[in-house]
Amino acid sequence: MMAATATAASDASDISAAYRRITRRRVGLLLTLCLALAGALVLDVVTGPSALTLGDVIRGLFDPTSLSAGERVILWSVRLPYALMAVVVGASLAVAGVETQTVLNNPLASPYTLGISWAAALGAVAAIVIGIDILPAAIVLPLAAFLSALTAGLAILALAQIFGSRTETIILFGIALVFACTALISLLQFVADAETVQQSVFWMMGSLGRATWEKLTVVALVFAAVMPFTLRGAWSMTLLRAGEEQASSAGLPVHRVRLAAILRASLLTAAAVSFVGTIGFIGLVGPHIARLLLGEDHRFLLPGAALTGALLLSLASIASKLLVAGAIIPVGIVTALVGVPTFVALLVARRRGL
């Protein structure tokens, strides 16, 4: 009996020590991602049709008066909000992706699965087509998109509350919402004139070009307000990866945890897509890349996904400015072009045990 207890104690300390080594490696990976993101952010700010060198950017950041008036406007009113918006939107979408994938136990889930992105698009397209002009379009469009997305998120929550929060039920509600929103968008576009249709299609492509400091502040504030709750639920989310039955049998209130996660994902997605349009792929692939690098412990996975999402959108933003000389392609188009090769490279590396 004594020998068995001693063996168990030694096993426990061995396991704990080995796990601490894994934890340290994960912290190292998070720091590496931070550095990569910082590099991408600088590159994003430096890249653009107007020739601003790295030196100009650094000087302009610390001493704006050292730049010409035109350069100042480009750096402070265009490049910086544009680049920082990529970081915040990418982080928001990827964190929302992790939350939905985990609580729905579905690797194909993303903010799109719940129909929230499409609801945002419906709100924006409706505002464009109906032509609400009581406020400037720069305010009306994101406001309509946000309200519509939030309504969709709350509708999913209400339905889950009434009909039960089984993963299949929620996914089916989400799919129904996607179809309803796309049908309504098509209807609105069908009755609208050509110019309005073009405007709405362009909105749906997703573009960081709409970024301003005010919009950036709103998205960043939502992210900052939601993240503490997200991180506080990290252990619950990790436990859910053992399966709903295991988690529930261990005393986790699965229904409540699931609804709270969907609410958080809805808020993050609604805020992000309302200002930049529907940007796909980041919410699906960002979490998978983070998972491949950091595993399933959500204490690392959630911040890791925020960083990979931010990094992906930052790289997409750079690519959107470089792919066609003198033009900025909507970033929503580029995200998949950047994300797919990154994802495939990681999958291949993992398979080879690299």
Residue 69 engages another protein in binding (rule: CB under 8 A): no
Distance in angstroms (rounded) separating the CA atoms of residues 319 and 249: 48
How many amino acids of this chain bind another protein (CB under 8 A)? 35
Among 106, 212, 248, 342, binds another protein (CB under 8 A): 248
Residue 105 engages another protein in binding (rule: CB under 8 A): yes
Among 11, 31, 138, 229, binds another protein (CB under 8 A): 11
Q: Residue 4 or 354: which CB sits closer to another protein?
A: 4
Cβ at position 267, least distance to another protein in Å: 22
Binding segment for another protein (CB under 8 A), chosen from 2-10, 60-68, 180-188, 215-223, is: 2-10
Q: How many CB atoms lie within 10 A of CB 122?
A: 26
Cβ at position 26, least distance to another protein in Å: 11
Judging by beta carbons within 10 Å of its beta carbon (0-12, 13-18, 19+), is residue 196 exposed, middle or buried?
middle
Question: Within 13 Å, how many C-alpha atoms sit on residue 132's CB side?
Answer: 16
Among 44, 56, 71, 297, binds another protein (CB under 8 A): 297
Residue 19 engages another protein in binding (rule: CB under 8 A): yes
Q: Residue 161 or 246: which CB sits closer to another protein?
A: 246
Q: Residue 57 or 239: which CB sits closer to another protein?
A: 239
Residue 109 engages another protein in binding (rule: CB under 8 A): no
Residue 7 engages another protein in binding (rule: CB under 8 A): yes
Q: How many CB atoms lie within 10 A of CB 17?
A: 9
Residue 347 engages another protein in binding (rule: CB under 8 A): no
Residue 168 engages another protein in binding (rule: CB under 8 A): no
Cβ at position 18, least distance to another protein in Å: 6
What sign results for the dihedral spanned by CA atoms 117, 118, 121, 123? Answer: negative
Distance in angstroms (rounded) separating the CA atoms of residues 201 and 189: 9
- Both tokens of residue 54? 């790295």
Cβ at position 16, least distance to another protein in Å: 5
Binding segment for another protein (CB under 8 A), chosen from 59-67, 123-131, 167-175, 239-247, is: 239-247
- Phi, psi for residue 206 in degrees, rounded to 5: 80, 120
Residue 247 engages another protein in binding (rule: CB under 8 A): yes
Q: Residue 189 or 248: which CB sits closer to another protein?
A: 248
Please name the residues in contact with 124: beta carbons below 8 A apart, sequence gap of 6 or more. 141, 142, 144, 145, 148, 200, 203, 204, 274, 277
Cβ at position 255, least distance to another protein in Å: 9
- Both tokens of residue 95? 């964190």
Distance in angstroms (rounded) separating the CA atoms of residues 294 and 335: 22
Q: Residue 41 or 262: which CB sits closer to another protein?
A: 262
Task: For 167-180, give one letter per residue: b (16+ CB within 10 A) or e.
Answer: eeebbebbeebbee
Residue 241 engages another protein in binding (rule: CB under 8 A): yes
SS3 (DSSP) at 243: coil
Is there a contact between 246 and 239 (Cβ–Cβ < 8 Å)? yes
Distance in angstroms (rounded) separating the CA atoms of residues 175 and 181: 10
**Site residues (CB under 8 A) for another protein?**
4-5, 7-9, 11-16, 18-19, 22, 105, 235-236, 238-239, 241-243, 245-253, 291, 295-297
